[in-house]
Amino acid sequence: MDYADYNRRAWDRQVELGNEWTVPVSEEIIAAARDGVWQVVLTPKKRVPTSWFPSMKGLRILGLASGGGQQAAVFAAAGAHVTVLDNSPMQLEQDQLVARRDGLAITSVLGDMRDLSKFPPDSFDLIFNPCSVCFIPDIRRVFDQSYHALKRGGRLLCGFTNPAKFIFDEDKLTQKQFHVRHKLPYSDATHLNADEMDQLRTTHEPFMWSHSLEDLITGQIKAGFTIRDMYEDRDDKDPLAEYLPLYFATLSEKAL
């Protein structure tokens, strides 16, 4: 199976179904961002510290796998020059919907987050990548490509899913039964049985993978980044949140 193609169609369908990460921000949020009052997320709940961002005015930002009419639109309203690369045409269209509605300039590019070759070196001051690497099987190339596309001193902001989340049986979790089922690294493609795979396709859910902490953290360092800060986050809608943080975010920097 071409998983990138499948996930493209799955996320297009998620837009139609109204997935929370596909719903554009309101006109009120855009108006506030124009006045300098704004917040965004890399993970489900906790807001990204404002200290992680340089001044927005004229900042060249790449929203990496960040379509949906949310963060990119806020950045554009705050004064940044924003490009969004996403695998889903309909997620990109959500950004353009806000751009048309509120008079914003957002460049949309259809593509795989593992291939930024269409952008010359030093194209961006900041790359913003909310939790999305769980939808690709390999992530080292994401960091290598991001390093190439950033200018010296540029920042990479990433949100990640805690790999521990993937060891539990998902169906039993909905009943608050914490049944350890899967070995890591996890992949829908290899860890689900035939009936579960059919159900995944029927509900138009994208395929997911876990990644080791070594790949998530050391992968950035080996690409050349220096990790400057991080925080953990919880999703109150997940039963596991009572016991451990299910997400974390990192701020990394390319050397000057």
The pLDDT tens digits for 113-142 are 999 999 999 999 999 999 999 999 999 999
Q: Examine the pLDDT at 74 and tell me if it is beyond 90.
A: yes
| Average pLDDT of the segment spanning 187-207 | 95
Whether the CB-CB separation of 61 and 127 falls below 8 Å is answered with yes
Non-local (6+) Cβ contacts of 127 within 8 A are: 61, 62, 64, 146, 149, 150, 154, 155, 156, 157
Whether the CB-CB separation of 251 and 52 falls below 8 Å is answered with yes
pLDDT (tens digit, 9 = 90+) per residue, 227-242?
999 999 999 889 999 9
Whether the CB-CB separation of 238 and 45 falls below 8 Å is answered with no
The pLDDT value given to residue 120: 97
Q: Examine the pLDDT at 1 and tell me if it is beyond 90.
A: no
User: β-strands 247-254, 225-233: how paired?
Assistant: antiparallel
- State CA 192 to chain mean position distance: 24
Which one is predicted more confidently, 170 or 80? 80
Question: Does the global pTM surpass 0.75?
Answer: yes
Rounded Cα distance between 87 and 1, Å, is: 16
Helix (H) / strand (E) element for 228: namely: strand 225-233
- H, E, C per residue of 171-207: HHHCCCCCCECCCCCCEHHHHCCHHHHHHHHHCCCCC
The pLDDT value given to residue 45: 95
- Cα 63 to Cα 3, 27, 84, 185: the distances in Å are 21, 20, 4, 27
| Average pLDDT of the segment spanning 11-18 | 97
Rounded Cα distance between 75 and 59, Å, is: 9
Record the tokens describing residue 52, joined without a space.
């992680």
Q: How many other β-carbons are positioned within 10 Å of the β-carbon of residue 174?
A: 10
| Average pLDDT of the segment spanning 135-162 | 97
Summary mean pLDDT of the chain = 97
- What percent of the chain has pLDDT above 90? 97
DSSP state of 219: H
The pLDDT value given to residue 68: 98
Q: Examine the pLDDT at 244 and tell me if it is beyond 90.
A: yes
Domain range summary for the chain, segments of one domain joined by +: 3-162+210-254
Q: Examine the pLDDT at 174 and tell me if it is beyond 90.
A: no
The pLDDT value given to residue 58: 97
pLDDT (tens digit, 9 = 90+) per residue, 32-57?
999 999 999 999 999 999 999 999 99
Q: How many other β-carbons are positioned within 10 Å of the β-carbon of residue 49?
A: 12
Q: Locate tokens 């690409």: which residue? A: 223
Question: What is the helix, strand, coil percentage profile of the chain, to 5?
Answer: 40, 20, 40
Q: Examine the pLDDT at 164 and tell me if it is beyond 90.
A: yes
CATH of 3-162+210-254, one of 3.40.1080.10, 3.40.50.410, 3.40.50.300, 3.40.50.150: 3.40.50.150
